[in-house]
Homo-oligomer: A and B are copies of this chain.
Amino acid sequence: MTSADWPARWLRERLGYEARDLALFRAALTHRSATGPNNERLEFLGDAVLNLVVAQHLYGLFPRAAEGDLSRLRSRVVSSEPLAQVAAGLGLGDTLQLGSGELKSGGFRRESILADALEAVFGAIYLDGGLEAAAAVIVQLFATRIAALPEPEALKDAKTRLQEYLQSRSLALPHYAVLNVGGEDHAQTFEVSCEVPALGLRARGRGLSRRRAEQQAAERMLTQIETRPVQDTPA
């Protein structure tokens, strides 16, 4: 485990990467709770490498997505939770060096420790083999998650999508109105209506806040619009 080429085998077998400077990777796989060079600085660098690689990949993959959509899509790939899941799948927790305190507290399972260490590994690959090497590893590791990303359009909330749909057709914006507020003071339920006069459509939504009720109403309005018989928009 702690032989001189300790991380080499893990890198080769799990990441398909042949390391040149193993000292870099030993630091990347050492949490600050352990003695010796740790992964904090490499994590700073690796975070930027990951952000650029995923940014470029999504930029190419979604040629018509707007900047805001690309941002939202990226955050689904590079946030702590998916990072920790990928790290766990690589058995990174077993190869990570931790101080005795972290070991006792079960810290090696902690999401942020795994996510940070994986970012540090990306930083080490970048320094060791350049951006292309890092990109190859990253894109491969996140391929499944990237393939499962929703269409950019689906990331917007329902009210925004409804508004943009109507605007793109030069139709008047929807009217929202509160129909009823029920329940006790600390647990109110809101019922609202969403009306699109230009299309002669109306939907209702319910929720524990006015905002959620409006989102549900807008979602249902979009469903009505999408499922109604094909027809020209009334003039």
CB proximity of A68 to chain B, nearest CB, Å: 9
Q: Is A102 an interface residue (CB 8 A)?
A: no
CB distance from A171 to the nearest CB of B (A): 22
Residues of B within 8 A of A43 (CB): 67
A43 to B67, CA, bound (A): 8
| Chain B residues within 8 Å of A66, by CB | 40-41
Q: A51-B51, A131-B131 are in contact. Are A70 and B56 (CB under 8 A)?
A: no
Say if the beta carbon of A71 comes within 8 Å of chain B: yes
The docked-state distance in angstroms from the alpha carbon of A160 to that of B112 is: 24
Structural contact, B48 and A70, CB atoms closer than 8 A: no
Interface residue total, chain A, C-beta cutoff 8 A:
19
**Per a CB cutoff under 8 Å, which of B41, B49, B59, B65 touches A52?**
B49
Of chain B, the residue at the smallest CB distance from A132 is B131
Contacts of A178 in B (CB 8 A): none
A19 within 8 A of partner (CB): no
Interface centre among A41, A56, A59, A70, by most B CB within 10 Å? Answer: A41
Contact of A48 among B40, B51, B65 (CB under 8 A): B51
Closest residue of chain B to A64, judged by CB? B41
* Contact (Cβ within 8 A) A67 B49: no
A59 and B44 within 8 A (CB): yes
Give 10 CB contacts A-B under 8 Å.
Answer: A40-B67, A41-B59, A41-B65, A44-B55, A44-B71, A45-B55, A48-B52, A49-B52, A51-B52, A131-B131
Chain B residues within an 8 Å CB radius of A49: 52
Whole-angstrom CA separation of A88 from B51 in the bound complex: 27
